[in-house]
């Protein structure tokens, strides 16, 4: 096969892969994890650096706190990667 044709095929393959990745991301389900609530308990954390804020969640969300996490809660390392500061 001629070199030109091969280049064309490679380019088409590249485009197809890009399109596939785009579609995959575009069709991904919407995010469902609850964001950080906008109430008095959490307002201060909305603008804080993630690592600083996360040290204080346990004050209320520890097992014996006022709002313990549900028993089936996923691994809770880095709260704010999942519960967004929106």
81 binds ligand HEC (CB under 6 A): yes
Separation of alpha carbons 7 and 12, rounded Å: 9
Do residues 85 and 45 make contact, with C-beta atoms less than 8 angstroms apart?
A: yes
Stretch that binds ligand HEC, among 6-14, 21-29, 51-59 (CB under 6 A): 51-59
- The tally of CA atoms less than 13 A away on the side-chain side of residue 5 is 2
Q: Provide, rounded to whole angstroms, the least separation between the CB of residue 54 and ligand HEC.
A: 6
Q: How far apart are CA 59 and CA 56, in angstroms?
A: 6
Contact pattern from residue 7 through residue 46 relative to ligand HEC, giving x for each residue in contact according to CB under 6 A and a dash for the rest: -------------------------xxx-xx-x-xx--x-
Handedness of CA 7, 9, 11, 13 (dihedral sign): negative
Return residues touching ligand HEC (CB under 6 A): 32-34, 36-37, 39, 41-42, 45, 53-54, 56-57, 59-61, 66-67, 69-70, 73-83
């Amino acid at each position: 096969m001629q070199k030109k044709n091969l280049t064309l095929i490679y380019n088409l393959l590249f485009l197809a892969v890009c399109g596939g990745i785009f579609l995959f991301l575009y069709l991904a389900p919407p995010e469902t994890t609850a964001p950080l609530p906008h109430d008095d308990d959490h307002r201060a954390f909305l603008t804080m650096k993630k690592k600083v804020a996360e040290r204080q969640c346990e004050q209320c969300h520890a097992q014996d706190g006022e709002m313990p996490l549900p028993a089936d809660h996923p691994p809770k390392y880095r709260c704010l990667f999942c519960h967004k500061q929106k």
